[in-house]
Chain A
Amino acid sequence: MFNLEFQAVVLAAGKGSRMHEITAAKPKCLLPVGNKPLVWYPLVKLQEIGFKEVILIVYDNQKSEIQSSLDKLNLNVKIEYVPIKNEDQGTADSLRFIHDKIKTDLLILSCDLISDVNLGGVLNLFRMHDASLCSLFLNPPAGEHLTVPGPKTKYKPERDLIGIDSQTNRLVFLASASDFESTVTLPKALIKKHTQITMYSNLIDSHVYVMKKWVVNYLQTEPSISTIKGELLPHIIRKQLLKPKQKHDFNTSIVNTKDESGVFAFASQTNLDRLIQETSSFNDHHGDLKPSYHGDLVRCFAYIAKPNVFGIRVNTLPAYHSVNFKIIDKWEKLTKDKEFNRIDSSAEVLSNQVDDRCIIWNSCKLSEKTSFKNSILGAHCEVDKFSRVFNSVLMNDVVIKEKVALENCIVCNDTVIESGCQLKNCLIGSQHVVPKDAVHSNELLTQNDRLMELELL
Chain B
Amino acid sequence: MSQKLDKSVAQKEVVQAVVIAEHFGNEFMPITDDTPLTLLPLLNVPLLEYTLEFLSLGGIEETFLFCCSNVVMIKQHINSSIEKSAGWSLTMKVHVIVSETCRSFGDCIRDLDAKALIRGDFVLLEPGIVGNIKLLPIIKKHNETCNTDKGAAMTLILQEAGLGQRGRCSFEEVLMVATPNNRVLLHQKLGTSKKAKIELPLEILMDNASVNIYHNLKDTHISICSPNVLSLFSDNFDFQTKDDFVRGLLINEEILGSTIYWHLIKGNQYGAAVTNWRMYQSVSRDILHRWLYPLVPDMGISSQQRSYIHLQNNVYRSKDVHLTQSNSLIEDVIIGGGSSVGDKTRISRSIIGESVKIGDNVIIEDSFVFSNTVIGDNSVIQHSIIGQKCVLETGCIVTKASVIGKGVVLPENSIIENYLIRSHSSKTGVASNKLAKNAYHIKPEESVESDAEDDGLHRKLSRLYMPDEAEPSDDESVKSSESEDNLSYTISPVPDDTNLFLTEVVDSLTRGFEDKLQCDNLILEINSSRYAYNVSVKEVNFNVIKAILMLPFQLYLGQPYLPSLRPLLDYFSPILKNYIRNISAMVDCLQAIEDVAANNNELNECVSAVLNWLYNKDHLSEDVILNWFSGIDKNTRFYARVEPFTNWLQQAEEASSSEED
Interface residues of A (CB under 8 A from B): 140, 159, 161, 163, 166, 173, 175, 177, 179-192, 195-203, 238, 241-246, 249-258, 260, 286-289
Contacts and interface: CB of A to CB of B under 8 A. Distances in A.
Contact of B163 (A173, A184, A256, A287): A287
A245 B210 contact: no
A203 B633 CA distance: 48
Given A188-B196, A253-B632, A196 B483 contact: no
A181 B202 contact: yes
A448 B198 CA distance: 50
Given A180-B490, A198-B212, A253-B591, A189 B196 contact: yes
Residue from the set B160, B201, B489, B628 with the largest chain A CB neighbour count within 10 Å = B489
Given A181-B202, A286-B162, A175 B489 contact: yes
Contact of A246 (B480, B482, B598): B480
10 contacts: A184-B200, A186-B489, A187-B198, A189-B482, A192-B163, A192-B215, A197-B212, A246-B480, A255-B542, A255-B591
Contacts of A257: 481, 483
B186 to A, nearest CB: 11
Contacts of A161: 205
A180 B475 contact: no
Nearest to B639: A250
A449 B479 CA distance: 56
A187 B197 contact: yes
B189 to A, nearest CB: 14
Contacts of B480: 242-246, 249, 260
Interface string B477-492: 0111111101111110
B197 A191 contact: no
Contact of B199 (A159, A166, A184, A190): A184
B654 to A, nearest CB: 25
B96 to A, nearest CB: 40
A175 B490 contact: yes
A185 B496 CA distance: 15
B216 interface: yes
Contacts of A199: 177, 205, 210-213
Contacts of A197: 212-213
Nearest to A178: B202
A203 B483 CA distance: 31
A182 B201 contact: yes
A200 B209 contact: yes
B262 to A, nearest CB: 13
Interface in B463-516: 475-476, 478-484, 486-491
A452 B124 CA distance: 68
Given A188-B197, A251-B633, A238 B487 contact: yes
Interface string B590-626: 0110110010000000000000000000000000000
A183 B487 contact: no
Contacts of A201: 205-206, 208-211
Contacts of B594: 253-255
Contact of B210 (A186, A198, A238): A198
Contacts of A288: 162-164
B210 A185 contact: no
A242 B163 contact: no
Contacts of B633: 250-251, 253
Interface string B274-309: 000000000000000000000000000000000000
A252 B631 contact: yes
A200 B481 CA distance: 30
Contacts of A166: 212
A186 B479 contact: no
B479 A179 contact: no
Given A181-B202, A245-B480, A250-B635, A195 B162 contact: yes
B489 A187 contact: yes
A196 B481 contact: no
Contacts of A177: 202, 205-206
Most interface-central of A179, A183, A190, A245 (chain B CB within 10 A):
A183
Contact of A180 (B202, B212, B215): B202
B628 A196 contact: no
B484 A258 contact: yes
Closest 4 CB pairs of A and B: A250-B633, A287-B162, A195-B216, A253-B631
Nearest to B476: A243
A160 to B, nearest CB: 11
Contacts of B115: none
B211 A241 contact: no
Contact of B213 (A187, A191, A256): A191
A258 B591 CA distance: 14
Nearest to B632: A253
Contacts of B476: 243
A6 to B, nearest CB: 30
Nearest to A287: B162
Given A187-B488, A242-B479, A288-B163, 17 more contacts: A163-B213, A185-B490, A186-B213, A189-B478, A191-B175, A192-B163, A198-B212, A199-B177, A199-B213, A200-B210, A201-B208, A202-B210, A238-B484, A241-B479, A245-B480, A260-B484, A287-B216
B195 interface: yes
Nearest to B176: A196
A116 to B, nearest CB: 22
B399 to A, nearest CB: 28
Interface in B3-49: none
Contacts of A189: 196, 475, 478-479, 482, 486-487
A146 to B, nearest CB: 22
Contact of B202 (A183, A192, A289): A183
B203 interface: yes
Contacts of B212: 166, 196-199
A196 B487 contact: no
A179 B592 CA distance: 34
B556 interface: no
Interface in B168-187: 175, 177
Nearest to B482: A189
A407 B194 CA distance: 62
A457 to B, nearest CB: 28
A204 to B, nearest CB: 12
Nearest to B588: A255
B467 to A, nearest CB: 15
A238 B631 CA distance: 29
A238 B476 CA distance: 16
Nearest to B629: A253
Contact of B205 (A184, A251, A254, A258): A184
A173 to B, nearest CB: 7
A182 B202 contact: yes
B164 A289 contact: yes
Contacts of A159: 206
A196 B216 contact: yes
Contacts of B160: 287
A197 B180 CA distance: 12
A179 B490 contact: yes
Nearest to B210: A200
A268 B205 CA distance: 35
A251 B209 CA distance: 44
Among B175, B190, B212, B213, the most chain A Cβ lie within 10 Å of the Cβ of B213
B631 A187 contact: no
Contacts of A256: 483
B634 interface: yes
A89 B235 CA distance: 61
A57 to B, nearest CB: 29
B209 A202 contact: yes
B488 A183 contact: no
Interface string B199-231: 111110110111111111000000000000000
A182 B209 contact: no
Contact of B487 (A198, A242, A289): A242
Given A159-B206, A202-B209, A243-B480, A191 B215 contact: yes
A286 B644 CA distance: 50
B584 to A, nearest CB: 13
